Structure 1
Amino acid sequence: MKFVKDIALGDPSTNNQNFIDLRLRLMCCRYWLLDLWDCHDMVFPFWRLYWNKNSGGQLIHQNTVYDMDADHIYIIPPFTSFSSQFKKNHRYTTGIHVSGKQFTSNINESDYSNESLIHFFVHFNLGVPFDSVYPGILKIEMTIYLKERLEYLTERLKIENKNFKLTFNLKLQAFIKEALTNIGPELWKTTIIDERVLKVIRYVEANIEKKLKNTDMSDLINMAPNSFARLFKSEMHVTLHNFIQNRKIAKSCELFEHTNKSIEEVAYVLGFSDRYHFSRVFKSVTGLTPAVYKSGRYT
């Protein structure tokens, strides 16, 4: 048998096709009973997907209150400032206060449906440039497909919530992607950006551990620093400096979720001068200290 080296020979068509490289990166997926969900002015550098099986949960964004129900999924893009609360147990007006427990197969949902929020959530990233969209809270109507996937995912999370098999991973990714297809094209218009800016964004992603300077970025695309700074701000609606900080904090969240690195180690890996500098930037972006984020005392 002869191995065919030219992969193009395997396609009988001469019509070239262009596909979008979507790099979905899962950070966490959990199914909880929440007794308290008083979280105020949260901002995170990743996507969040929420679904409550019962009523009583609320999301607030720019003075708009979303009463959550089981017939809708709620998706929050990166860097959206929002708050949440459980109406039956609303105690705090500032800060982040969460209490509850993770579902197990020994817990009967019906025993808690009147006193706790039955809460499913996923944190994920989509990669460049799809993590740079306009902020907001997106309300997605539940479909039969999404409901079936949710039933499978939540039942599996009661049994195993750490070492997921391939089937679970594939179905979770399919669930997220299907939910995203229901958002509509208007959200993704913000990802159509200047090629020069996109080249710099890709460089930032590939070299996130380095100390990145504005002059180095402008040299990549042969532009004067001030001219490129104006172009970047007009395309991304954020300064290059703040964009780099945001991406470093996004990477730090990923490291906290998927490694056992300490705060000091993460600060060093991402090119911060010390833990204190890293902590100041982390809190300015997320509203949390790295220690609180690392502890998982939020949802």
Structure 2
Amino acid sequence: MALVKNAHLGDPSPNKQNFINLKIKMLCCRYWLLNLWDCHEMIFPFWRIYWNKNTGGQLIHQDKVDDMDPNYIYIIPPFTSFSSRYSKNHIYNEGIHVGGKHLNAKHNEDQLASQYLIHFFIHFNLGVPFDNVYPGILKIELTDYLRDRLEYLTERLKIENKDFKLTFNLKLQAFIKEALTNIGSELWKAINIDERVLQIIRYVESNIEKKLSNTEMSELVNMAPNSFARLFKKEMNITLHNFIQNRKIAKSCELFEHTTKTIEDISFSLGFSDRYHFSRVFKQVTGLTPASYKSGKYT
């Protein structure tokens, strides 16, 4: 009979195994009929998955226009600057303008396909360091598995879009994880970053409410400020200063979503000197004012 090496784990093997703890934090998942989708220079601190059942949707990133294909899903990492539009009803050339309604079981999708963009989207976070992959728009072909999950999710969303049961949550997370496996090595590059950089990332996350300086961060890893700044930029494709700003704005978006705190409360809780400084940085990062974001007029 085999000896149980780690009795508390019920594991008979002496070989240690290392797993990556990936924690998906869901923000929203909806199925909409859109008649307007003029959104310009959107930059948000969460992942998005988009799928349109019919044609007419377009995504724009770095002046490249991608006509969205119903046979593909589109994955957009956090802090990617992009624009979107519904080509059949394109009105605005700036700002964020969305018009439409939730799609429910009473709607006939085939009849509405000529009038609306039938649009499914998910917003979520993976946590640090996986929310810091290189920005861009990733086009993933629908496999049979993804298509089957997508059909289930959209049908359920037509019936219920508020209080989701366990089965829906499990299938939604399975859909996200399967989609992410198709991205490739760039997604997982973050787990191989320099240990000193990872130490600072963790410190920023646990001290997000403080005013954090480059000098303070470099001292924590016993490096000169300029040397550490170069290392951080090389490993993360972003300056340390901008990374800290992005994480503070990401935290503020989370607070806007899940608390009733005012803009003033959030600005002070994240170490900003005043609301105006916070609003300026928020606008620089997201392209929106905190008040506009708080109103929820985005998809």
TM-score bracket for this pair, using the shorter chain length: over 0.9
Q: Which residue of 2 aligns with 1:225?
A: 225
Alpha carbons 1:45, 1:249 under 8 Å: kept: yes
Q: Which residue of 2 aligns with 1:98?
A: 98
Q: Which residue of 2 aligns with 1:267?
A: 267
* Matching residue's letter, 2:188: W
Question: In the aligned structure 2, how far is the partner of 1:118 from the partner of 1:9?
Answer: 47
Q: Summarize the Cα distance change of 1:9–1:102 in structure 2 as closer, same or farther, 3 Å threshold.
A: closer
TM-score (norm 2): 0.93
**Offset at residue 165 of structure 1 (A):** 2.0
* Matching residue's letter, 1:170: L
1:16-54 CA distance string (max 9 Å, x none): 111112121111111111110111111111111100011
**Offset at residue 297 of structure 1 (A):** 0.9
Q: How does 1:229-244 map to 2 (within 5 A)?
A: 229-244=229-244
Alpha carbons 1:133, 1:191 under 8 Å: kept: no
Alpha carbons 1:58, 1:86 under 8 Å: kept: yes
TM-score (norm 1): 0.93
* Matching residue's letter, 1:24: I
Q: How does 1:57-72 map to 2 (within 5 A)?
A: 57-72=57-72
Which SS does the other structure have where 2:123 is aligned? Answer: strand
* Matching residue's letter, 2:148: E
Which SS does the other structure have where 2:145 is aligned? Answer: helix
* Matching residue's letter, 1:74: Y
Q: Which residue of 1 aligns with 2:298?
A: 298
Q: Which residue of 1 aligns with 2:204?
A: 204
**Offset at residue 187 of structure 1 (A):** 4.2
Alpha carbons 1:134, 1:190 under 8 Å: kept: no
Alpha carbons 1:36, 1:90 under 8 Å: kept: yes
Which SS does the other structure have where 2:198 is aligned? Answer: helix
1:37-72 CA distance string (max 9 Å, x none): 111111111111100011100001112211112110
Question: In the aligned structure 1, how far is the partner of 2:279 from the partner of 2:252?
Answer: 11
CA RMSD in angstroms comes to 1.7
Q: Which residue of 2 aligns with 1:169?
A: 169
The 10-residue stretch of structure 1 (211-220 or 10-19) with the greater mean CA deviation from structure 2: 211-220
Q: Summarize the Cα distance change of 1:9–1:280 in structure 2 as closer, same or farther, 3 Å threshold.
A: closer
Q: Percent identity?
A: 75
**Offset at residue 137 of structure 1 (A):** 0.7
Q: How does 1:1-299 map to 2 (within 5 A)?
A: 8=8, 10-189=10-189, 191-299=191-299
Deviation >4 Å, runs of 4+: 6-9
1:158-212 CA distance string (max 9 Å, x none): 2222222222221111110000011122443355211100010011112212222
Q: Summarize the Cα distance change of 1:158–1:174 in structure 2 as closer, same or farther, 3 Å threshold.
A: same
**Offset at residue 133 of structure 1 (A):** 1.2
Q: Summarize the Cα distance change of 1:92–1:105 in structure 2 as closer, same or farther, 3 Å threshold.
A: same
Question: In the aligned structure 1, how far is the partner of 2:92 from the partner of 2:177?
Answer: 35
Which SS does the other structure have where 2:60 is aligned? Answer: strand
Question: In the aligned structure 1, how far is the partner of 2:110 from the partner of 2:296?
Answer: 26
Which SS does the other structure have where 1:235 is aligned? Answer: helix
Alpha carbons 1:42, 1:83 under 8 Å: kept: yes
* Matching residue's letter, 1:219: E
Count of paired positions? 295
Q: Summarize the Cα distance change of 1:24–1:7 in structure 2 as closer, same or farther, 3 Å threshold.
A: farther
Question: In the aligned structure 1, how far is the partner of 2:164 from the partner of 2:267?
Answer: 29
* Matching residue's letter, 1:22: L
Alpha carbons 2:130, 2:187 under 8 Å: kept: no
* Matching residue's letter, 2:284: S
Alpha carbons 2:36, 2:85 under 8 Å: kept: yes
Question: In the aligned structure 2, how far is the partner of 1:42 from the partner of 1:83?
Answer: 6
Question: In the aligned structure 1, how far is the partner of 2:167 from the partner of 2:222?
Answer: 46
Question: In the aligned structure 1, how far is the partner of 2:7 from the partner of 2:266?
Answer: 40
Alpha carbons 1:43, 1:287 under 8 Å: kept: yes
Gap regions ≥5 residues in structure 2: none
Q: Summarize the Cα distance change of 1:112–1:194 in structure 2 as closer, same or farther, 3 Å threshold.
A: same
**Offset at residue 241 of structure 1 (A):** 1.1
Alpha carbons 1:27, 1:258 under 8 Å: kept: no
Question: In the aligned structure 2, how far is the partner of 1:50 from the partner of 1:265?
Answer: 33
Q: Summarize the Cα distance change of 1:265–1:77 in structure 2 as closer, same or farther, 3 Å threshold.
A: same
The 10-residue stretch of structure 1 (233-242 or 74-83) with the greater mean CA deviation from structure 2: 233-242
* Matching residue's letter, 1:234: K
Question: In the aligned structure 1, how far is the partner of 2:211 from the partner of 2:159?
Answer: 43
The 10-residue stretch of structure 1 (194-203 or 151-160) with the greater mean CA deviation from structure 2: 151-160
The 10-residue stretch of structure 1 (99-108 or 75-84) with the greater mean CA deviation from structure 2: 99-108
Gap regions ≥5 residues in structure 1: none
Question: In the aligned structure 2, how far is the partner of 1:251 from the partner of 1:170?
Answer: 25
